[in-house]
Structure 1
Amino acid sequence: MSLSSEQASQALREVEAVSHRSSQLYSYQKFAPMLMLWGVIWLVGFAVTHFFPTRASQIWIPLDVIGIGGCIFLGRRGKQDASNDKSWRWLASALAVVVFYIAVLNVFQPATGEKSAVLISLIVALFYFLSGLWIGSRLAVTGLALAVLTLVGYYLLPAYFLLWMAVVGGGALILAGAWLRAA
């Protein structure tokens, strides 16, 4: 039995679609626990910062170290072949974001704690949105939702912005992780 050229082309398109969807689902499964981890970190970090704003750096530096280390651990989990490991790229990306964040804060001094929190939250939202353009729409939706929620809290609830980010921002990341896991 021989295939026509149209049947062969259709079969190749179906294989490519299955391969793309499989890769997307694999990426979602890798991102899901990382989103949940950062959701918990945001919940704790923003809530504690609300009550102890003068200790923000003492709160966030260890939480960021835990988050970045946790993401590296989660990203490497289950990998057999260390020669193709890309965790160094993620670490370098995180370092680039931190350097960019610090540079922007220094250029636009003085920056309040809330404005600093908005900036990093919007950078994270942008990262998820751009990741979604490459990996899958659920990450793009996550980034867009996080950006909108951040701006809503900043402009409509300025006195409670940090608590808003703890509950709504952290909660959104946790829910997004569950949504990715369910894909």
Structure 2
Amino acid sequence: MALSSEQASQALRDLEAVSQRSGQLYRYQRTAPMLMLWGVIWIIGFGATQLAPASAPWLWIVLDVVGVLGCIYLGKHGKHDASANTSWRWLASILTIAAFYVLALTILPPSHGSQVAAFIALIVALFYVLAGLWIGTRLAIIGIALAALTVFGYFMLAAYFALWMAVVGGGALILGGLWLRTA
């Protein structure tokens, strides 16, 4: 029995949908450990910031380096088919965000550390929302939740903002990573 042209077209559409979904799930699996790594870094960094705010700038530099190196390690040692083309795009994205951050703080200098922390968290949330537009809706949802939690903590729990971000912000990243793994 021969397929009609409509049946063949439908079969090709179904195959394309399965291929796209498979790629999305694969990218979720690759992103999940990185999200969880940053969740742990946020718990350590924001927790230490709450306890010893004077040492926060240096601690965050160390933690950011550990996080970036950890992501590079996870990206290189996970199962993947990333090309050099993909790698330079991610690195360029990170450098672009870092440059934006520095320039924004130069033009609009913060009056206290909580502003810097909230601004960075919102940039991270923006990054996840934008990644969600390209990779899959779950990343966008994680970004929106992170932004909402950041704004809530900044305005409603100002005295405990760093602790809020350690527990809720870091926890949201870890839970988001676990959610991506279950996709």
TM range (shorter): over 0.9
Letter in 1 for 2:75: G
Measure the CA separation in 2 of the matches of 1:73 and 1:59.
Answer: 21
Tell me, what secondary structure is at the counterpart of 2:57?
Answer: helix
- Give the letter aligned to residue 144 of structure 2: L
- Give RMSD over aligned pairs: 1.5
Aligned to 2:70: 70
Mapping of 1:31-110 within 5 angstroms? 31-78=31-78, 83-84=83-84, 86-110=86-110
Query: Which residue in the other structure is 1:165 paired with?
Result: 165
Q: Contact 1:76–1:85 (CA<8 Å) still a contact in 2?
A: no
Give the equivalent residue in structure 1 for 2:11. 11
The residue aligned with 2:141 is: 141
CA distance in 2, matches of 1:167, 1:87: 31
Query: Please, which runs of 5 or more residues in structure 2 have no aligned partner?
Result: none
Q: CA deviation at 1:34?
A: 0.4
How many residues align? The count is: 183
Deviation string for 1:116-174 (max 9, x for gaps)?
00111000001101111111111010000000000000000000000000000000000
Distance between the aligned counterparts of 1:81 and 1:168, measured in 2? 33
Q: What one-letter code is carried by the residue in structure 2 that aligns with 1:36?
A: M
- Corresponding letter in the other structure for 1:86: T
8 A contact 2:153–2:165 mirrored in 1:
yes
Distance 1:57 1:42 in 2: 13
Displacement, 1:88? 2.4
- Shift in Å, 1:99: 1.4
**Unaligned runs of at least 5 residues, structure 1:** none
Identity %: 63
TM-score, normalised on structure 1? 0.95
Instruction: Calculate the TM-score normalised by the size of structure 2.
Output: 0.95
- Structure 1 window deviating more from structure 2 (28-37 vs 48-57): it is 48-57
Provide, for residues 68-89 of structure 1, a one-character-per-residue CA deviation record: whole Å limited to 9, x for no partner.
1111111122457675452222
Counterpart CA distance in 2 for 1:4 and 1:46 is 61
How far 1:109 moved relative to its partner? 1.9
Q: Are the counterparts in 1 of residues 32 and 176 from structure 2 also a CA contact under 8 Å?
A: yes
